[in-house]
């Protein structure tokens, strides 16, 4: 059985909000019987863009991550819904019945991803339902995906075995794996949102003149073991990325010609060490 999946490349998202606007344009003021009631004009975003800023000036990295219903295979919302208000289609898409779900606010509270909104006027929970009404009419992809100008979003319908091959090949991740909900939304380059970096700039002062050092060897060590190694670029900069937050003590070892210098630090969040003079 082929099922729908969504892949989001965090590297490509520019926060243009076209997916969010397309979702609003499609659903605000428009009800689709059997799929969903109309979306509120204000107070709800079925597709939201989260922002993560890492580092300090001048080494700052900003990542944007679209979030929406994750269409989980082990969805907590289905477990708390009454009257069979939530169903999961054979193609993997979750549908919240706008009639059967009336008054069931516990459905909103059950989602650990925070992806279900509450329509206060209609007293119903609502989600981005993968634009299933369009797919059922022959659309090749959801409208929100079709408007993405940077190819940050890609939908595909494949069987689970094929999807897992794609996950491994492209090194895809899911949001909040600790919740064990088996989402069908996958993320590429998620490290820009959930990991940290250590960066700095290596320089030297000779004859009262400051100059950056290109080609200096820099090692990142933890527990006396080298875990990564690189050379400074033309501006003397270096950056070790994809490090877990709050991961404790590290040591930076810098070597240039016969000069050596080491720096010990504790990593809680992304850190720019500034100019390091040797």
Report, as an integer, the average pLDDT of 178-203: 97
Is the domain of 178 the same as that of 93? yes
pLDDT at 95 over 90: yes
pLDDT at 183 over 90: yes
Domain boundary among 177, 193, 209: 193
- In 168-247, DSSP assigns E strands to 185-188, 196-206, 209-212, 217-222, 225-231, 237-243
The pLDDT-based confidence of 208 (bands split at 50, 70, 90) is confident
pLDDT tens digits, one per residue of 242-260: 999 999 999 999 999 989 9
Is the domain of 208 the same as that of 183? no
Cβ neighbours, 10 Å, residue 264? 9
Which residue segment(s) compose the domain that 266 sits in? 196-277
pLDDT, mean over the chain: 96
Domain boundary among 173, 193, 213: 193
Please tell me the pTM assigned to this model: 0.91
Secondary structure string (H, E, C) spanning 64-96: EEEECCCCCCCCHHHHHCCCCCEEECCCCCEEE
């Amino acid at each position: 059985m082929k099922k729908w999946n969504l892949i989001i490349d965090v590297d490509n998202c520019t926060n243009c909000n076209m997916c969010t606007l397309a979702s609003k344009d499609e659903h605000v003021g428009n009800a689709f019987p059997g799929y969903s009631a109309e979306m509120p004009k204000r107070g709800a975003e079925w597709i939201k863009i989260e922002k993560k800023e890492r580092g300090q000036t001048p080494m700052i990295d900003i990542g944007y991550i679209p979030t929406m219903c994750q269409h989980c295979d082990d969805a907590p919302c289905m477990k708390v819904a009454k009257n069979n208000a939530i169903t999961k289609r054979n193609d993997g898409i979750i549908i919240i019945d706008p009639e059967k779900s009336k008054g069931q606010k516990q459905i909103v509270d059950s989602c650990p991803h925070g992806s279900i909104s509450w329509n206060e006027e209609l007293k119903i929970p609502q989600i981005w339902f993968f634009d299933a009404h369009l797919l059922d009419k022959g659309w090749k992809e959801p409208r929100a995906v079709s408007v993405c100008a940077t190819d940050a979003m890609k939908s595909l319908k494949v069987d689970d075995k094929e999807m897992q091959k794609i996950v491994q090949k492209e090194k895809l991740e899911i949001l909040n794996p600790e919740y064990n909900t088996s989402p069908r939304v996958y993320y590429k380059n998620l490290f820009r949102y959930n990991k940290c970096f250590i960066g700095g700039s290596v320089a030297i002062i000779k004859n009262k003149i400051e100059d950056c050092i290109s080609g200096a060897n820099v090692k990142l060590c933890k527990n006396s073991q080298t875990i990564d190694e690189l050379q400074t670029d033309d501006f003397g900069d270096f950056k070790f990325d994809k490090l877990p937050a709050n991961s404790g003590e590290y040591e930076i070892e810098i070597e240039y010609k016969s000069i050596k210098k080491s720096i010990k630090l504790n990593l809680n969040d992304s850190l720019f060490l500034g100019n390091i003079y040797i």
